[in-house]
Structure 1
Amino acid sequence: MHDDPNATCPVARALDLIGDRWSLLIVRDAFDGVHRFSDFQRNLGMSRSMLSQRLQALQDSGVLAQQPAADGSRYHDYVLTPKGQALFTLVVALRQWGEAFLFAEHEPRSQLLTLADGQPLAPLLPQDREGRVLASAATHVVKPATP
């Protein structure tokens, strides 16, 4: 039995893994095509030791993997694993929420566009199995019974 009231919560477990600012920004940059330690450091402006710790934690949790550099150099690349790739929806949801609520109407910001037509992505909306869009009031959480 767990004494932690959040032990059965998938949100709490996800936050334990990728909930700190740096880990999620590393994942974001990996989706943007950053693979090298030096590029992560330059983009994020974090210390070498902090970056090393976060990269190792993301590898230990199966979000990132190291592989030989694609250019054949002595360096290695950090790549998203399937578990890491599955975070794309979360990154897009955070981006869309930030665009909607954290920028003034004409304030400059980066944009995520499709490669096919250069258009912004459609808003992510929770749906039921039949495709109906749901608000939080139309859902409920079922918690496991405690012994």
Structure 2
Amino acid sequence: MADTFLHDARECPVARSLEAIGDRWSLMIIRDAFDDIRRFSEFQKSLGVARNILASRLKALVEIGVFDICPASDGSAYKEYVLTDKGRAIFPIVVSLRQWGERFEFEPHETRSLLLDTASGQPVMPLVVRSASGEPLGPSDCHRIRVVAGGD
């Protein structure tokens, strides 16, 4: 049974994604990067995370290609962490987590942040999983299959 679980975990895109970016600090760093935070000191100030934890998570996120380290955009001696295409592709994940949290983790009277569309000033529409034809899908409308690399 344990061998089956390990085998399934290696083949599972969800398990691999969680291994790469699934801890709290990594996702909070990525969230802050979407708010245009780029420098180590800015991440630390925003998150209040210990320097060693922040350094470890940023290093790991650079290693897996979520961030590039670049010279500071203002010409100073600082370095900046800039999201790559791979990093920017995490945006819908962060929005989905945010929307789930807005729906289930706050009481109506609690203060919270709200994600707005910059162009319209309106709240972002809830994300919906859709079929190839555009119809909304729920868990019972989907199934998984195993795809063997190099197979016919």
Please, what TM-score do these two structures have when normalized by structure 1? 0.94
Q: Measure the CA separation in 1 of the matches of 2:52 and 2:75.
A: 25
1:7 corresponding residue in structure 2 = 10
Higher normalized contact order (CA 8 Å, seq sep 6+, divided by chain length): 1
CA RMSD of aligned residues (A): 1.5
Give 1:78-97 correspondences, 5 Å limit.
78-97=81-100
Runs of at least 4 residues of structure 1 off by over 6 A? Answer: none
Please, what TM-score do these two structures have when normalized by structure 2? 0.91
Give 1:52-71 correspondences, 5 Å limit.
52-71=55-74
| 1:143 to partner: Cα distance | 2.4
Q: Measure the CA separation in 1 of the matches of 2:33 and 2:7.
A: 32
> Which residue, 30, 36, 41 being the options, matches 1:38?
41
2:118 corresponding residue in structure 1 = 115
1:139 corresponding residue in structure 2 = 142
Bigger proportion of residues as helix: 2
SS at match of 1:7: helix
Aligned length: 145
Amino acid at match of 1:74: A
Amino acid at match of 1:49: N
Unpaired runs of 5+ in structure 2?
Answer: none
| 1:144 to partner: Cα distance | 4.2
2:50 corresponding residue in structure 1 = 47
Percent identity of equivalent pairs: 51
